[in-house]
Amino acid sequence: ELKVEQNPLFLSMQEGKNYTIYCNYSTTSDRLYWYRQDPGKSLESLFVLLSNGAVKQEGRLMASLDTKARLSTLHITAAVHDLSATYFCAIYGGATNKLIFGTGTLLAVQP
């Protein structure tokens, strides 16, 4: 069974602090996606990671992919309140572009 597990499920952090969200998956996949969702809103694509060792950065967020360990990380540097949202990782589960999503990490950045 294809599984994508994220941890933590909930993260409360103070502004200015650093933290990492982890995404583990159970099957080989060469594509991993990170999305952000604000409350009551749609999913916004953050990063597309396509190969082992891929690292992408946008502002205070940096994502990496280790396909051998079946692990992706989303690192938050010097968090600000605007980063408060739910973050999802997703992998392709096989043919026809089917995405398998993690359960999400709810990030709350406190002033």
- The residues binding another protein (CB under 8 A) are 4, 9, 30-31, 33, 35, 41-43, 45, 48, 50, 88, 90, 96-99, 101-104
Residues 91/49, Cβ–Cβ less than 8 Å? no
What single letter denotes the amino acid at residue 40?
G
Least distance from another protein to the Cβ atom of residue 29, Å: 11
Closest approach, Cβ 80 to another protein, in A, equals 24
Instruction: Using the minimum distance from each CB to another protein, give the nearer residue, 48 or 55.
Output: 48
